[in-house]
Amino acid sequence: MKWTAGNITYEYDKEKCKCKLGICVEACGQGVLEFDEDAEKMEILNNTVQCIFCRQCEEVCLYQAISIKGALTLDDIMKKV
């Protein structure tokens, strides 16, 4: 699954989602993600509008199933400074 907002792209590869724990769901403070208990996989809810690109879900994923591209990072400050 893939969705974009502005210059940012959020990509979730369901095939790679294998931890069966929903760690990413727990790390999401905005309630954008949900754990499908039957499939033991993460599901993205219909409120992606609430995503703030804190990137916690991407960071905790043990299988690199989530990738967020295009979000500004501290490097963007350093380049300007």
Partner 1 sequence: MKAEHTESEVLVIGSGMGGIRAAIEAQRAGLKTLLIDKSILARASASIYAGALVARKPPEYLVKMGVMEPGMDFEQSFDASFRYFVREGARTGGSRYTNNQRLSMTVACEMESRADELRDLGVKDIFSQRWLGPPGVYGRDIMLPLVEHAKKIGVKTREMTMITDLIRQDGAVIGAVGFDIRKKKFVVFRTKSIVIATGSHGQIYERTYAPIRMTGDGYAMSYRAGAALSDMEIMGFDNWGIAEPGLPQYWIPGSSARVNGILRNASGEPFFLRYAQEHGILGKNATLSMSDNISKRYGRPFIELVPHLVKASMKEILEGRGDDGAVFLDLTHVPEEKWYVDSKGLFTLNILKGFDLKKRQLRIIPICIGDFKGGGVRIDEKGRTDIEGLFAAGDVSPGSSLLYALVTGVLAGRSATNRALDISIPEFDAGTKEWLGNKKGELNTILKRKPKKGGEPGEIKAAVKTIMWKSGGPLRDGRGLRDGIENLKEIEQKTVPAIYANGSFRKLREAVEAVNMVQVGGMILPASLYRKESRGYLQRLDYPRQDDKNWLKNTIIARNKNGMSIHADPVDLVFMRPDTVEKEIG
Q: Residue 24, Cβ neighbours under 10 Å: how many?
A: 25
Tokens of 3: 């969705």
Backbone angles phi, psi at 67, to 5 degrees: -140, 135
54 forms part of the interface with partner 1 (CB under 8 A) = yes
Of 9, 11, 35, 43, the one binding partner 1 by CB under 8 A: 35
**Is 11 within 8 Å of 66 (Cβ atoms)?**
yes
28 binding partner 1? (CB under 8 A)? yes
Q: How many residues bind partner 1 (CB under 8 A)?
A: 31
Rule CB under 8 A: which residues touch partner 1? 5-8, 21, 23, 26-31, 35, 37, 49-56, 60, 71-74, 76-77, 80-81
